[in-house]
Amino acid sequence: MGLFYTLKAEKMFHRLLKRDVTGSPFYVHISLFDSSVVVPLPTHEPLATCTVERWYAAPGVERIPIKSGKVRGALFLPPGPGPFPGLIDLFGGAGGLIEFRASLLASKGFAVLALAFFAYDDLPQTLEVIDLEYFEEASRLLLKNPKVKGPKIGVIGLSKGAEVALAMATFLEEIAAAVCINGATSMNGAPLHFRDINIPAVPYSTEAMLINEIGLMSSFNVMGDPLDSVHEVSAIPVEKAQGHILLVAGEADQSVNSKMFAEIALGRAKKFGRTNCSLLHYPRAGHMIEPPGSPICFLSFLRVSPMPTIWGGESKPHAKAEEHLWKEALKFFELHLGPAGKLYEKKVQIS
């Protein structure tokens, strides 16, 4: 897959992101040139060409827009009667609704709610507070669907979505399994409210933002030192989680000190005698650990940032991390939620 994961954007600092996940594929045009051609010019004729289609939804996967109560998002259902294990899919600080991972998971036999929680439709445009009752409502909505297998569901989150996913696994009885990728394990920037529970946030230290000589930004130190005892009150009490938690950290993450945060949460769980928390960490992998097979995002513009953000990572180790985590996450969810649905059987006749 090296042809694909090493592709570079023509527009600097842009991220390849599939929006219409069910209506069309990505078309990748491949040209093969003579080995003497270092940089192809319009005058160079390729030896061969082809176009590859990369689909983000298997045939029959259904996308249903969700606008129910306070919940906003898109539900992806595999074909067939089900019931299928249910998942909620969360992304991070860019806000809005990102659907490509949800459609890929649905293509593997999960019923997946891609859930927006700010900067989308009539939701707040900025994230001032994490109201866990919103995520509880979304969890119960998913469980009510007749194609979703209960009694519990899973959640997967990246970056800020990982922080929220960890809080969901800690406080919501509906969550049996959570995969938290490169996120903080304490509340940062926005406090958490859930009924009579209030966890204050560690304020962002914007003065700790690092900007290199070409104007690229790293937010690695913005969340402060997670080992500082002053921040203990903001830690998510993972020892209260009844479900299983898989923490994931890229060791070359330049956005969040994700490995340190994960190790602190893992240590806290062990301190209380809990064995339901585990850690996967990947040397030389960056922040944007996503499903494999697409160009790796090492830096890009973020909606709330005035300059491009460095996400970190090196091509080959990061790609290997994406391949490994994708398989491990699928196995993790099947272990704790039950087998994924089988979309179809491919029969091969040998003559």
The pLDDT tens digits for 9-64 are 888 888 888 999 999 999 999 999 998 888 888 888 999 999 999 999 999 999 99
**What Rg, from alpha-carbon coordinates, does the chain have?**
21
> Catalytic residue among 231, 244, 287, 318, which?
287
**DSSP for residue 206:** G
User: Both tokens of residue 295?
Assistant: 């160009």
pLDDT at 14: 86
Token pair 């003497």: residue:
36
What's the rounded mean pLDDT across residues 309-328?
96
* Cα dist from 249 to 102, 183, 303, 314, whole Å: 21, 8, 23, 14
pLDDT at 224: 80
* Cα dist from 111 to 161, 228, 340, whole Å: 18, 40, 9
Catalytic status, residue 287 = yes
pLDDT(261) > 50: yes
Confidence of residue 147 (pLDDT cuts 50, 70, 90): very high
User: Both tokens of residue 65?
Assistant: 């827009």
Task: Judge contact between 247 and 274, C-beta under 8 A.
Answer: no
Token pair 């061969």: residue:
48
Give the percent of the chain with pLDDT over 70: 97
Catalytic status, residue 20 = no
pLDDT at 350: 39
Task: Judge contact between 78 and 109, C-beta under 8 A.
Answer: yes
Catalytic status, residue 122 = no
* Cα dist from 243 to 28, 124, 137, 283, whole Å: 41, 30, 18, 27
What's the rounded mean pLDDT across residues 303-327?
92
How many Å apart are CA 20 and CA 113, to the nearest integer? 16
pTM listed for this prediction: 0.94
SS (H, E, C) 222-274: CCCCCCCHHHHHHECCHHHCCCEEEEEEECCCCCCCHHHHHHHHHHHHHHCCC
Find the length of the chain.
351
Q: Which amino acid is at 220?
A: F
> Catalytic residue among 107, 159, 219, 234, which?
159
Residue 340: enclosing H or E segment and its boundaries?
none
Confidence of residue 312 (pLDDT cuts 50, 70, 90): very high
Within 160-233, strands assigned E span 175-181, 192-194, 197-199, 210-211, 217-218
What's the rounded mean pLDDT across residues 297-302?
89
Give the percent of the chain with pLDDT over 90: 78
pLDDT at 336: 98
State CA 256 to chain mean position distance. Answer: 14
User: Both tokens of residue 138?
Assistant: 């979304």
User: Both tokens of residue 7?
Assistant: 């592709």
How many Å apart are CA 332 and CA 112, to the nearest integer? 15
Helices and strands of the chain, counted as H and E runs? 6, 17
pLDDT(253) > 60: yes
What's the rounded mean pLDDT across residues 191-200?
97
> Catalytic residue among 89, 219, 253, 300, which?
253
Task: Judge contact between 251 and 182, C-beta under 8 A.
Answer: no
CB atoms within 10 A of CB 341: 21
What's the rounded mean pLDDT across residues 303-314?
87
Q: List, edge to edge, every strand of the sheet that includes 192-194.
A: 130-131, 192-194, 197-199
**Mean pLDDT of the chain, nearest integer:** 93
Of 130, 247, 275, nearest in space to 188 by CA: 130
How many Å apart are CA 102 and CA 206, to the nearest integer? 32
Of 226, 237, 173, 162, nearest in space to 199 by CA: 237
SS3 content of the chain, % helix, strand, coil (to 5): 25, 25, 50
pLDDT at 348: 35
